[in-house]
Amino acid sequence: MPVKFAGVNKRYDTTMAVDNVTFGLEYGECFALLGVSGAGKTTCFKCLTGVVRPDSGEVKINGFDITNNSQFQQARKMIGYCPQFDAIFEGLTVREHLEIYAALKCIKTEFRAQLVDKAIREMDLDSYVNIRANNLSGGNKRKMSVAMAMLGNPPIVFLDEPSTGVDPQAKRFMWNIVSKISTLRKKSAVIITTHSMEEAEALCTKMGIMVGGNFKCFGSSQHIKDKYGTGYELEVKIKTLDEAELNELKARNSIGDTMSMNDCKNFLSNQQNNVAKDLVQELSADGVGSQFFEQFQNG
């Protein structure tokens, strides 16, 4: 099994970042780790790549134990990793980045230029090859980071939120590349972390949703949708006042540039809207207006 992650635990002080997480991956599979920020996805990646050592459990890449220093040197040669935050050299161009990574991955000299050109073309970076990294947009930095991870078709690929900040067209383009090397060619095993169910569905053969460091559900996209997909999505749009409307409101209610607690309560009580009147009692330490209450207390 190319990737084995069994019974892994990792604690930071009092926070259990990874709590008894287990999964495995074969070649030709793409696995999605879904979850909100702080769920433990990136810590799983750090354990898989040897950046941090798990407190307990087993982490193996192609049979090599990541926690064993001598075996880790063999395991790391098989990994392509796109971290959550772009690991780039701001003064170097896109091409220079890829050439450096081709050398670091020990790709034979006669193949480097060809593979670098292929990576640039596949990630649609042709227009930016000679642009320094600090002048790239956030989306193009992400595309370059994914290109560096994919360079040389590593057998194990870890992509930590690869499409963050990438425009929809480029995102689809990236998905095609990831899908091609994993589920179509079946030469690589890919693990991807994402906030997007759409991205997970487009790429992955199975997925797990992490909450508080452990899996709350695990399986194929259809299985998870069938079991947990019921419910409603509520979209709320709140009207905000422009400066002219705000000044008119202040003049109409004799409000100056500052407001006391009593001013605020009087303003709400005088509104025709019953909801506004109900908010008066919420201006308290434990009400929904607690932040306003604290500001009034502090003058």
* Residue 204 contacts residue 221 (beta carbons within 8 Å): yes
Phi/psi of residue 207, each to 5°? Answer: -150, 160
Return the domain boundaries, the chain: 3-228, 243-297
* pLDDT (0 to 100) of residue 11: 92
* pLDDT (0 to 100) of residue 67: 84
* pLDDT (0 to 100) of residue 92: 92
- Kindly state the average pLDDT of the residues 97-102: 92
Q: pLDDT (tens digit, 9 = 90+) per residue, 158-193?
A: 888 887 777 787 788 788 878 877 776 677 888 988
* pLDDT (0 to 100) of residue 286: 86
Structure tokens at 157: 């690929």
Give the residues across from 32 on adjacent strands.
192, 207
CA pair distance 78, 71, nearest whole angstrom: 12
pLDDT band at 139 (very low <50, low <70, confident <90, very high): confident
pTM value > 0.75: no
Give the residues across from 193 on adjacent strands.
33, 160
- Spell out the residues 6+ positions from residue 251 whose beta carbon is closer than 8 angstroms to its own: none
**Closest among 32, 48, 42 to 12, alpha carbons compared:** 42
- CATH 3.40.50.300 at 3-228, yes or no: yes
CA-CA distances (angstroms) from residue 90 to 119, 128, 151? 19, 14, 20
* Residue 8 contacts residue 18 (beta carbons within 8 Å): yes
- Kindly state the average pLDDT of the residues 115-144: 88
Q: What is the mean pLDDT of the chain?
A: 86
* pLDDT (0 to 100) of residue 203: 82
